[in-house]
């Protein structure tokens, strides 16, 4: 598959949870999910290091191949961390997973801590993110593929929160370009980063916002999955800046409460988040 440079053809999904990914069989289940939804891509599954080096391709016939490879890679990063003066007791690191085509990249972040703090802002310690580009993944339309994988992933992952959106939508809602380019609105001790094409509210957010309110939101789609509620604003992620999409988005925000979400237009307004025992530092 050739390289695609149009931002509109790029969709990302992210899922977040507190429990360490190495503590259960999730990575084995993730491997099975990738094999089921992207068999062609998974035929050359490997952990990407850089353009000059890459790890030995994973044996996808071994159900524990991904879990073992991630644990090994995290351990190697821990050794480097120790040489730089860090604490080797910390189990943390990020692994990039690639396959036979450039249509999909998976990024897995592992942390034995529930949350990660930096400069007074807090993030979930364990994340699984998929980055899709081009019109298809393994011969399937990218939007349909993303929706089906997102639903399967939140069911297996049991995350506290998750979302899927085009790169353009995320850039418009969460990227600041004044004096550089950086992401804003990601401090979960204050709020969720925004509302997007697909949104999953796991137990802490389902309970905070109210399950009934989420399930009665005027969204394009809503249903319970696992420990939370999935809301979709549209069937088409590329419609994120159309009048119809924005009407649904505003109606959903008015219904469930704008106070739970970051707003780039009003970043310092008062917001509400679950009591995770964190301090924002603001």
In a domain, 188, yes or no: yes
Give the model confidence (pLDDT) of 117-158 as tens digits.
888 899 999 999 999 998 999 999 999 999 999 999 999 889
Please give the structure tokens belonging to residue 207. 């309970």
Total tally of structural domains belonging to the chain: 2
Instruction: Provide the 8-state DSSP code for 269.
Output: S
Same domain, 85 and 115: yes
In a domain, 202, yes or no: yes
In this prediction the pTM is 0.91
Same domain, 143 and 34: yes
Same domain, 94 and 185: no
Task: For residue 106, give the nearest of 226, 15, 197 by alpha carbon.
Answer: 15
Please give the structure tokens belonging to residue 45. 């599954």
pLDDT at 56: 74
Same domain, 129 and 265: no
Please give the structure tokens belonging to residue 222. 């809503």
Alpha-carbon span 153 to 113, nearest angstrom: 22
Same domain, 208 and 225: yes
In a domain, 3, yes or no: no
Say how far residue 257 (Cα) sits from the centre of its chain. 22
Q: Where are the beta strands (DSSP E) in the chain?
A: 10-17, 46-48, 92-98, 104-111, 115-118, 121-124, 126-133, 136-137, 140-141, 161-166, 175-176, 182-183, 198-201, 221-225, 228-232
pLDDT at 54: 67
In a domain, 2, yes or no: no
pLDDT at 177: 87
Give the model confidence (pLDDT) of 215-265 as tens digits.
999 999 999 999 999 999 999 999 999 999 999 999 999 999 999 999 999
Give the model confidence (pLDDT) of 15-27 as tens digits.
999 999 998 799 9
Give the model confidence (pLDDT) of 23-50 as tens digits.
879 999 999 999 999 999 999 999 998 7
Same domain, 265 and 176: yes
Cβ count within 10 A of residue 161: 24
Same domain, 153 and 168: no
Q: Is the pLDDT of residue 85 over 50?
A: no
Helix axes 26-37, 142-157, angle to 10 degrees: 160
pLDDT at 78: 47
In a domain, 15, yes or no: yes
**Domain region containing 75:** 9-159
Same domain, 23 and 103: yes
Residue finishing a domain among 139, 159, 179: 159
What is the torsional sign of CA 254, 209, 268, 172? negative
Q: Is the pLDDT of residue 73 over 90?
A: no
Residue finishing a domain among 159, 178, 197: 159
Rg of the chain over Cα atoms, rounded to whole angstroms, equals: 19
Same domain, 135 and 185: no
Same domain, 211 and 227: yes
In a domain, 89, yes or no: yes
Same domain, 131 and 255: no
b/e sequence 245-275, b meaning 16+ C-beta within 10 Å:
beebbeebbeebebebbbbeeeeeeebebbe
Largest CA distance in the chain: 54
Residue finishing a domain among 90, 125, 159: 159
Secondary structure of 12-23 in HEC code, one letter for each residue: EEEEEECCCCCC
Alpha-carbon span 128 to 109, nearest angstrom: 6
Confidence of residue 279 (pLDDT cuts 50, 70, 90): low
The neighbouring-strand residues paired with 133 are 10
In a domain, 282, yes or no: no
Q: Is the pLDDT of residue 178 over 70?
A: yes
> What does the mean pLDDT of the chain come to?
89
In a domain, 279, yes or no: no
Q: Is the pLDDT of residue 61 over 60?
A: yes
Same domain, 19 and 144: yes
């Amino acid at each position: 598959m050739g390289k695609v440079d149009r931002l509109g053809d790029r969709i990302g999904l992210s899922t977040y949870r507190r429990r360490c990914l190495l503590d259960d069989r999730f990575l084995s289940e993730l491997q099975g999910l990738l094999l089921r939804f992207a068999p062609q891509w998974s035929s050359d599954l490997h952990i990407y290091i850089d353009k000059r080096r890459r790890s030995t391709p994973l044996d996808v016939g071994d159900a524990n191949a991904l879990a073992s490879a991630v644990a090994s890679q995290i351990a190697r990063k821990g050794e480097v961390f120790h040489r730089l003066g860090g604490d080797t007791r910390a189990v943390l690191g990020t692994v990039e997973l690639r396959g036979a085509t450039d249509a999909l990249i998976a990024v897995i972040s592992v942390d034995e801590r529930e949350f990660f703090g930096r400069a007074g802002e807090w993030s979930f310690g364990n994340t699984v993110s998929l980055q899709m580009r081009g019109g298809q993944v393994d011969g399937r339309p990218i939007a349909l593929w993303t929706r089906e994988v997102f639903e399967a992933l939140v069911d297996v992952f049991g995350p506290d929160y998750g979302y899927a959106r085009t790169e353009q939508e995320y850039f418009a809602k969460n990227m600041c370009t004044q004096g550089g380019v950086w992401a804003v609105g990601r401090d979960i001790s204050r709020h969720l980063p925004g509302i997007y094409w697909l949104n999953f509210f796991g137990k802490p957010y389902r309970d905070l916002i109210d399950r009934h309110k989420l399930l009665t939101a005027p969204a394009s789609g809503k249903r319970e999955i696992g420990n939370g509620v999935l809301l979709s604003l549209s069937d088409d992620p590329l419609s994120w800046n159309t009048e119809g999409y924005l009407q649904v988005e505003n109606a959903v925000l008015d219904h469930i409460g704008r106070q739970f979400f970051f707003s780039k237009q009003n970043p310092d307004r008062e917001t509400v988040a679950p009591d995770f025992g964190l301090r924002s530092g603001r």
